[in-house]
């Protein structure tokens, strides 16, 4: 399979698009041919080659023609939509791209005019951050925390995958937030910090008399001033093991660029500022859900307010632990694998059913709060995380309840549960919405039934709402007998 990436990198666009694509490339380079298409000047070209040359088959560069303006996304392409699309199509033709190949676009400056002109043989996948409501690509992926499907104007046959379960990050460690006597503060604003806002943060932190250990990290082209290093403050211009820096932190201070998803995964409390308009929705969402403290945009910065808020939160252990707990259910370790599965779907023979474990508690909660699962459930009630935790811990240790997780290529994509009552098993199942429509429901129920004891004679019973036609068809195909009871269908199998 040939996979093409169209993105740009510069100090205004930032490094987030480059690193998102690099993360996907590392996950896909085995058994695939990877090509990069980018518009870059000599400095940008050098950095892109430095980061990506060893990872891909070939990199194609176009020359920038126009100047870029930070607040005008259409200027970010540095040429016209049509010209860029024609140049990209020529590359696709040169590389003999076909129906089974794909181009992944992570660029705010590319819109429908570009899509209309592109080679029709190839699938188009757009990585987005609430920039374009009307995108006519084949697939849209928006991996942000508060992303909603209805933000986009959906076209026929288009697939839209939204929410932090599709965050493009590849964590190196398991989350392990803990408090210590030394308060470790990580300050990171990446390449989006064009005004060197981090200097205001450092100046304010210097004035706080507390046992702090401060680490400041710059971006690829946005270098921090190493001369400011003291016993209390360390400065780094880009680090290879960024994950380790986050993992060791007590509190992070930064923006809501792409790195905020890593902070959430590692359950690290944060103070956030928005450095651009497109970051505000994420900052507001985290603040509203008490996973971070949002103190406004960089223009409204007040040193006295920052010091007051910082001192209060860093000395409040309960608050820090609460923020860490709120982060736990937002981003899991399977996000990148889901994105790779969307780009290159696996066969049914990659399905496996395994016994559920206590560590699956958050995965099950994200399934049980899914709107379609709630709509098709018997009680149709949303469950709080605290109630779910109590129920799951009891259920997983109950010998009369058998719970299994369906994995697709090691990604959890569904669950099936059997509650034993005398010689009857009450069956309940659900699929993750990102694999619905791939006909895994019948496979899940069949595999679950095969896990039950075959020595004894028993009845398997399932209660399904009349309007749940997909489940009705699955149980009929598996030779379940049924009868109607009010708004439900009761299926039985002996």
Q: What is the pLDDT of residues 171-216, one digit of tens each?
A: 999 998 989 888 999 999 877 677 889 899 999 998 988 889 999 9
Q: How many domains does the chain have?
A: 3
Confidence band, pLDDT 50/70/90 cuts, at residue 124: very high
Name the percent of the chain lying above pLDDT 90: 71
Q: Are 193 and 275 in contact (CB under 8 A)?
A: yes
Name the β-bridge partners of 293.
Answer: 271
Q: Are 126 and 143 in contact (CB under 8 A)?
A: no
Q: Which two tokens stand for residue 123?
A: 């699938």
**Residue 160, domain member (yes or no):** no
Q: Which domain holds residue 312?
A: 183-328
pLDDT reading at 220 higher than 70:
no
Q: Are residues 390 and 484 in the same domain?
A: yes
Q: What is the CATH number of the domain that holds 319?
A: 3.40.50.2000
d(CA 316, CA 320): 6
CB atoms within 10 A of CB 176: 9
Confidence band, pLDDT 50/70/90 cuts, at residue 241: confident
Average pLDDT of 136-161?
Answer: 92
**Residue 158, domain member (yes or no):** no
> Residue 442 class from Cβ within 10 Å (0-12 exposed, 13-18 middle, 19+ buried)?
middle
Q: Are residues 290 and 364 in the same domain?
A: no
Three-class secondary structure of residue 340 per DSSP: helix
Average pLDDT of 17-27?
Answer: 95
Q: Highest mean pLDDT: which of 32-41, 128-137, 434-443, 468-477?
A: 32-41
Q: What is the CATH number of the domain that holds 424?
A: 3.40.630.30
d(CA 140, CA 147): 12
CA atoms within 13 A on the CB side of 111: 14
Q: Are 273 and 255 in contact (CB under 8 A)?
A: yes
Cα dihedral value 53, 54, 58, 61, nearest 10: -10
Q: Mean pLDDT in the chain?
A: 91
Rounded to an integer, what is the distance from CA 368 to the centroid of its chain? 19
Residue spans of beta strands (DSSP E) within 28-74 = 33-39, 58-62
Q: Are residues 425 and 298 in the same domain?
A: no
Q: For the chain, how big is the Rg over CA atoms in Å?
A: 25
Q: Which residue, 328, 361, 385, sits at the end of a domain?
A: 328
Choose among 86, 85, 66: nearest CA to 76: 66
Q: Are 214 and 234 in contact (CB under 8 A)?
A: yes
Confidence band, pLDDT 50/70/90 cuts, at residue 374: low
Q: Are residues 306 and 362 in the same domain?
A: no
Confidence band, pLDDT 50/70/90 cuts, at residue 378: low
**Residue 153, domain member (yes or no):** no
Q: Which residue, 127, 150, 165, sits at the end of a domain?
A: 127
């Amino acid at each position: 399979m040939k996979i093409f990436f169209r993105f740009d990198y510069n100090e205004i666009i930032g490094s987030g698009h480059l690193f998102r694509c690099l993360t996907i490339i590392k996950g896909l380079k085995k058994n695939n041919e990877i090509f990069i298409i980018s518009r870059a000047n000599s400095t940008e070209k050098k950095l892109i080659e430095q980061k990506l040359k060893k990872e891909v088959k070939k990199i194609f560069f176009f020359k920038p023609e126009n100047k870029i303006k930070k607040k005008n996304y259409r200027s970010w392409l540095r040429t016209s939509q049509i010209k860029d699309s024609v140049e990209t199509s020529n590359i696709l033709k040169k590389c003999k791209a076909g129906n089974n190949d794909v181009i992944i676009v992570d660029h705010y400056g590319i819109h429908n005019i570009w899509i209309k002109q592109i080679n029709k043989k190839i699938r188009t996948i757009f990585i987005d951050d609430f920039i374009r409501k009307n995108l006519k690509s084949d697939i849209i992926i928006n991996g942000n925390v508060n992303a909603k499907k209805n933000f986009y104007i959906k076209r026929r046959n288009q697939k839209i995958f939204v929410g932090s379960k599709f965050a493009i990050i590849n964590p190196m460690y398991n989350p392990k937030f803990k408090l210590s006597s030394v308060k470790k503060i990580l300050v990171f604003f990446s390449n989006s910090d064009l005004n060197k806002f981090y200097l205001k943060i450092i100046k304010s932190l210097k004035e706080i008399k507390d046992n702090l250990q401060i680490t400041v990290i710059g971006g690829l082209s946005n270098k921090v001033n190493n001369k400011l290093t003291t016993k209390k403050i360390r400065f780094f211009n880009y680090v290879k093991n960024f994950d380790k820096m986050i993992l060791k932190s007590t509190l992070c201070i930064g923006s809501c660029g792409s790195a905020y998803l890593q902070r959430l995964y590692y359950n690290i409390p944060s103070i956030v500022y928005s450095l651009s308009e497109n970051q505000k929705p994420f900052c507001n969402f985290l603040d509203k859900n008490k996973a971070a403290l949002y103190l406004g945009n960089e223009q409204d910065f007040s040193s006295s307010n920052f010091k007051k808020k910082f001192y209060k939160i860093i000395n409040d252990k309960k608050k820090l632990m609460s923020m860490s707990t709120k982060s736990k259910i937002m981003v899991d370790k399977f996000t990148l694998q889901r994105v790779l599965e969307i780009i290159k779907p696996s066969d049914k023979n990659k399905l496996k059913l395994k016994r559920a474990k206590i560590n699956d508690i958050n995965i099950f909660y994200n399934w049980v709060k899914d709107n379609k699962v709630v709509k098709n459930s018997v009680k149709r009630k949303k469950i709080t995380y605290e109630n779910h935790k109590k129920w799951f811990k009891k259920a997983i240790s109950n010998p009369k309840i058998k719970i299994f997780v369906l994995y697709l290529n090691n990604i959890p994509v569904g669950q099936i549960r059997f509650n034993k009552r005398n010689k009857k098993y009450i069956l309940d199942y659900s699929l993750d919405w990102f694999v619905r429509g791939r006909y895994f429901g019948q496979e899940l129920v069949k595999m679950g039934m095969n896990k039950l004891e075959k020595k004894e004679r028993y009845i398997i019973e399932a209660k399904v709402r009349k309007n749940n036609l997909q489940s009705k068809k699955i149980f009929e195909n598996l030779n379940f007998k049924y009868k109607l009871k009010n708004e439900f269908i009761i299926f039985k199998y002996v």
